[in-house]
């Protein structure tokens, strides 16, 4: 017999009882819903049993009449309380811990519903009474996905430290995002203590992208960057997690919806991939999955199914117009799920009213105007010129922190641009319409165009002089005698 136990703590009860029913997802699995006041250890011989099916009761009693232990044989043990609050208070979690101790469950794997907690100081303190349940999982965020308490505690420490590091510098919004991206994807190689912590957290995950994306999401939340952690199916790699963010940076005049597949540029990929990925430089100097358009993710990042925005991409207007031509307003109303999804992410509101529908040409015109803007935002590429400046401003700080880990030179910048596949604004290829080209000739033209554009960008922004000036200032600081030496 397979069964699951769901224990609800209700301190108002005078007597404990149990409801026997089938699992709504699996009729062969029995569901034991136990309601207790928590005053005494659960005694399954004294419980009042309620069931709509006499068979459930008879089968259950017979199965446990030959020495089996009910708690030890359960497929799952879920614990919650009768509170209607969005999340438990620290006091309520203490009461749950007493219930767990009373029934000697502290060493079992429990699924504890503590409500929709976040990685805040208050919420982390509220679950502290449950820390002795080493093998247990608690609910987290608005989706109530279960995570280990130790795991959440470490992620809380890591994200707070990343924010402290970021706040030391005068970064623009997208520079902050790159700086955090690098810390996370290198498994915090900038700090040995935190490196051990993130390596420990990664062991909780069979698929590291879920861990990287969760940490990045929490950092972006703290940076007040509108973002979501999403899932997608990838060619040859099945389901993985990634991040999508609505980036707005006035310094670089960048505004758009961008994708971040942090695991794809990560140390964990380097460590575990069966392909020869060379060395650490291949992650340090590559940003092929940083701040990319959805179009890039589909055609170059192998994204097959996007759970974040579905079919919404830079070709969506063609679908919109086709549907309108064939089915009119009703057809556009049927697209409301896709349109409202992207609209709520960008503007925080629905575009098409689910209940009232579309009633006028003015409404329809406004909807199409919004769709045009959303398509534009999800299609805007970050230019290689902007990426180069973002990279330089972040890398010079990283170089000052750890020049062995984050080298800085013209060759390094060139390697980063080449591997990261950002396009130069004046990098259009020039072909003779009358000529025929072999692939070798095309590759040569591509390389020549890249070399010219890179050289032009380097000279225009004086990167060579800026790098020399930075290294000279650092050498002066190193050689500068300390005050004690002047005595």
Same domain, 16 and 134: yes
Task: Count CB-CB contacts under 10 A for residue 195.
Answer: 16
> What share of the chain in percent tops pLDDT 90?
76
Same domain, 73 and 161: no
Same domain, 263 and 168: yes
Sorted by sequence, the CB contacts under 8 Å of residue 216 that are 6+ apart come out as 180, 181, 184, 229, 243, 260, 262
**Tally of domains within the chain:** 4
> Phi-psi bin for 328: left (phi > 0), alpha (psi -120 to 50), beta?
left
Same domain, 179 and 279: yes
Final residue belonging to a domain, choices 84, 108, 143: 143
Whether 289 is covered by a domain: the verdict is: yes
Distance CA 329, CA 352 (A): 11
Whether 299 is covered by a domain: the verdict is: no
Whether 301 is covered by a domain: the verdict is: no
Whether 322 is covered by a domain: the verdict is: yes
Position 412 scores a pLDDT of 95
For residue 158, what are the domain limits? 153-293
Same domain, 403 and 462: yes
Same domain, 392 and 374: no
Residue 485 has pLDDT above 60, yes or no: no
**Mean pLDDT, rounded, for 81-96:** 94
For 365-372, the CB contacts below 8 A with 24+ separation are 367/332, 367/339, 368/320, 370/339, 370/343, 371/316, 371/317, 371/320, 371/339, 372/317
Position 272 scores a pLDDT of 74
Final residue belonging to a domain, choices 379, 407, 433: 379
Higher pLDDT among residues 169 and 276, named by residue: 169
Same domain, 95 and 22: yes
50 and 122 in contact (C-beta within 8 Å)?
Answer: no
Find tokens 């890249």 and name the residue: 450
Confidence of residue 150 (pLDDT cuts 50, 70, 90): very high
Closest C-alpha to 285, from 387, 406, 383: 406
Position 53 scores a pLDDT of 82
As given in the structure block, the two tokens for residue 215 are 């940490």
Position 486 scores a pLDDT of 41
Same domain, 418 and 356: no
Confidence of residue 483 (pLDDT cuts 50, 70, 90): low
Same domain, 6 and 139: yes
Distance CA 89, CA 146 (A): 18
Whether 172 is covered by a domain: the verdict is: yes
Final residue belonging to a domain, choices 293, 325, 351: 293
**Mean pLDDT, rounded, for 34-62:** 90
Find tokens 């695991």 and name the residue: 263
pLDDT digits (tens, 9 = 90+) for 321-356: 999 999 999 999 999 999 999 999 999 999 999 998
Whether 44 is covered by a domain: the verdict is: yes
């Amino acid at each position: 017999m397979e069964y699951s136990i769901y224990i609800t703590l209700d301190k108002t009860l005078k007597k404990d009882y149990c409801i026997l029913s089938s699992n709504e997802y699996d009729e062969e699995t029995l569901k034991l819903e136990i309601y207790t006041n928590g005053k005494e250890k659960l005694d399954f011989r004294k419980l009042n049993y309620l069931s709509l099916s006499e068979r459930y009761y008879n089968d259950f009693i017979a199965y446990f009449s030959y020495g089996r232990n009910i708690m030890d044989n359960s497929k799952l043990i879920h614990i919650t309380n009768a509170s209607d609050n969005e999340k438990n208070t620290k006091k309520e979690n203490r009461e749950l811990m007493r219930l767990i101790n009373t029934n000697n469950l502290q060493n079992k794997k429990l699924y504890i519903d503590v409500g929709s907690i976040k990685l805040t100081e208050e919420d982390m303190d509220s679950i502290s009474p449950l820390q002795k349940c080493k093998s247990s999982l608690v609910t987290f965020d608005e989706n109530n996905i279960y995570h280990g308490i130790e795991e959440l505690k470490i992620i809380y420490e890591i994200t707070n430290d990343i924010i402290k590091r970021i706040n030391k510098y005068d970064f623009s919004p997208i520079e902050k995002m790159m700086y955090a991206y690098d810390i996370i994807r290198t498994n915090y190689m900038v700090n040995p203590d935190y490196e051990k912590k993130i390596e420990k957290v990664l062991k909780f995950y069979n698929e590291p992208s879920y861990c990287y994306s969760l940490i990045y999401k929490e950092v972006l939340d703290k940076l007040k960057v509108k973002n979501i952690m999403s899932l997608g199916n990838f060619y040859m790699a099945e389901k993985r997690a990634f991040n999508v963010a609505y980036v707005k940076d006035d310094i670089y005049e960048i505004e758009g919806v961008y994708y971040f597949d942090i695991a794809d540029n990560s140390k964990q990929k380097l460590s575990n991939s069966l392909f020869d990925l060379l060395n650490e430089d291949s992650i340090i100097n590559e940003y092929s999955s940083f701040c990319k358009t959805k179009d890039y993710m589909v055609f170059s990042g192998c994204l097959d199914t996007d759970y974040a925005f579905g079919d919404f991409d830079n070709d969506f207007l063609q679908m919109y117009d086709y549907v309108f031509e064939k089915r009119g307003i009703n057809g556009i109303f049927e697209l409301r799920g896709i349109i409202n999804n992207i609209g709520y992410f960008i503007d925080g509101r629905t575009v098409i009213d689910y209940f009232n529908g579309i009633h006028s040409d003015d409404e329809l015109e406004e909807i199409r105007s919004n769709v045009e803007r959303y398509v534009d935002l999800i299609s805007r590429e970050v230019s290689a010129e902007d990426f180069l400046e973002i990279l330089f401003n972040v890398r010079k700080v990283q170089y000052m922190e750890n020049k062995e880990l984050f080298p800085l030179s013209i060759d390094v910048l060139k390697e980063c641009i080449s591997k990261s596949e950002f396009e130069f604004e004046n990098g259009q290829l020039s072909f003779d319409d009358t000529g025929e080209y072999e692939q070798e000739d095309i590759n040569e033209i591509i390389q020549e165009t890249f070399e010219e554009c890179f050289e032009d960008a380097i000279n225009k922004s004086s990167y060579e002089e800026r790098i020399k000036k930075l290294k000279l200032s650092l050498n002066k600081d190193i050689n500068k005698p300390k005050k004690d030496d002047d005595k």
